[in-house]
Chain A
Amino acid sequence: MTTNRIIPSLLLRDKRLVKGVRFADYRDAGAPVTTCRAHSAQGADEISVVDIDASRLSREPDFETLQAVSRDVQVPLTFSGGIDGVSRARRAMEYGADKIGINSTALERPALIEELAHVFGAQAVVLGVDFVRRNGKILLYDHRSGKALETPGFAEWLRAATERGAGEIRLVAVDREGTREGLDTEAWQEARALTGVPIILEGGAGNLNQVAEAMKAGVDSVSLGTLLVFSDNNLLKVRRFLEGAGLPMRP
Chain B
Amino acid sequence: MNVTIVDYGAGNLGSVHQAFWTAGAEPETTSNPEKIASAERIVLPGVGAAGAALEQIRSRGLDKAMDAARHKGTPILGICLGLQMMAEEIDEYGIHRGLGWMKGKVSRIPETASVHVPHMGWTRIETTERAGGLIGASDRDRHFYFCHSNRLHLDEGVAAATVSHGETFTVAVRFGNVFAVQFHPEKSQLAGQKLIKQFLAWSPQGA
Interface residues of A (CB under 8 A from B): 1-5, 40, 43, 45-46, 67, 70-71, 74-77, 90, 93-99, 117-124, 167-168, 196-198, 220-221, 250-251
26 A-B pairs with C-beta separation under 8 A: A1-B164, A2-B123, A4-B121, A45-B122, A74-B22, A76-B184, A77-B187, A90-B9, A93-B10, A96-B14, A96-B15, A96-B18, A97-B15, A118-B49, A119-B49, A120-B49, A121-B48, A121-B148, A122-B118, A123-B118, A123-B120, A124-B48, A168-B118, A196-B116, A220-B121, A221-B121
Let me know if A198 and B49 touch, CB within 8 A.
no
Decide if A168 touches B111 in the complex (CB within 8 Å).
no
Contacting residues, chain A, for B22 (C-beta < 8 A): 74
With beta carbons under 8 angstroms apart, the residue of B118, B121, B124, B193 that contacts A45 is B121
- Cβ of B39 within 8 Å of any chain A Cβ, yes or no, is no
Q: Is the CB of B149 within 8 A of A119?
A: no
Docked complex Cα distance between A168 and B116 (Å): 10
Give the CA-CA distance A77 to B116 in the complex, in Å: 20
Q: Shortest Cβ distance from B157 into chain A, in angstroms?
A: 26
Cα distance A98–B145 when bound, in Å? Answer: 12
| Chain B residue, CB-CB nearest to A45 | B122
Interface size class of B (residues with CB under 8 A): 35 or more
From B9, B49, B119, B188, give the contact of A121 (CB < 8 A): B49
User: Which 4 pairs of residues, A with B, have the shortest CB-CB distance?
Assistant: A96-B14, A123-B118, A250-B122, A198-B120
A residues less than 8 Å from B20 (CB atoms): none
In the assembled complex, the Cα of A197 lies from the Cα of B52 at a distance in Å of 22
The distance from the CB of A153 to the nearest CB of chain B, in whole angstroms, is 22
A18 to B81, CA, bound (A): 35
The CA-CA distance from A95 to B52 in the complex, in Å, is 21
CB-based contact A119/B187 at 8 Å: no
Structural contact, A167 and B187, CB atoms closer than 8 A: no
A85 to chain B, nearest CB (A): 14
- Measured CB to CB, the closest approach of chain A to B187, in angstroms, equals 5
Q: How far is B13's CA from A71's CA once the two chains are assembled, in angstroms?
A: 12
Whether B96 is near chain A, meaning CB under 8 Å from some CB there, is no
Q: Give the secondary structure class of B's interface.
A: mixed
Is the beta-carbon distance between B124 and A1 smaller than 8 angstroms?
yes
Q: Are B147 and A98 in contact (CB under 8 A)?
A: yes
B121 touches A74 (CB 8 A): no
| Contact in complex: A168, B19 (CB < 8 Å) | no
Q: How far is the CA of A123 from the CA of B148 in the complex (A)?
A: 6
- CB-CB < 8 A to A76: which residues of B? 145, 147, 184, 187
Closest Cβ–Cβ distance, residue A48 to chain B (whole Å): 13
What chain B residues lie within 8 Å of A221 (beta carbons)? Answer: 121
Q: Say whether A98 contacts B121, CB under 8 Å.
A: no
**Residues of chain A contacted by B13 (CB below 8 angstroms):** 93-94
Q: Which residues of B lie under 8 Å from residue A196 when comparing CB positions?
A: 111, 116-117
- Nearest opposing residue in chain A for B164, CB measure: A1
Contact indicator A168/B120 (Cβ below 8 Å) = yes
Contact of A120 with B18 at beta-carbon distance under 8 Å, contacts A1-B124, A5-B122 already known:
no
The chain A residue sitting closest to B187, CB to CB, is A76
Q: How far is the CB of A5 from chain B (nearest CB, A)?
A: 5
Measured CA separation A75–B124 after assembly (Å): 16
If A3-B121, A40-B189, A67-B14 are given as contacts, then 9 extra A-B residue pairs at C-beta distance below 8 Å, sorted by A number, are: A2-B122, A5-B122, A93-B11, A95-B14, A97-B14, A119-B9, A123-B118, A123-B120, A198-B116
B189 to A118, Cβ gap below 8 A? no
Cβ A2 vs Cβ B146 within 8 A: yes
A42 to B14 alpha-carbon distance, docked (Å): 22
CB distance from B82 to the nearest CB of A (A): 12
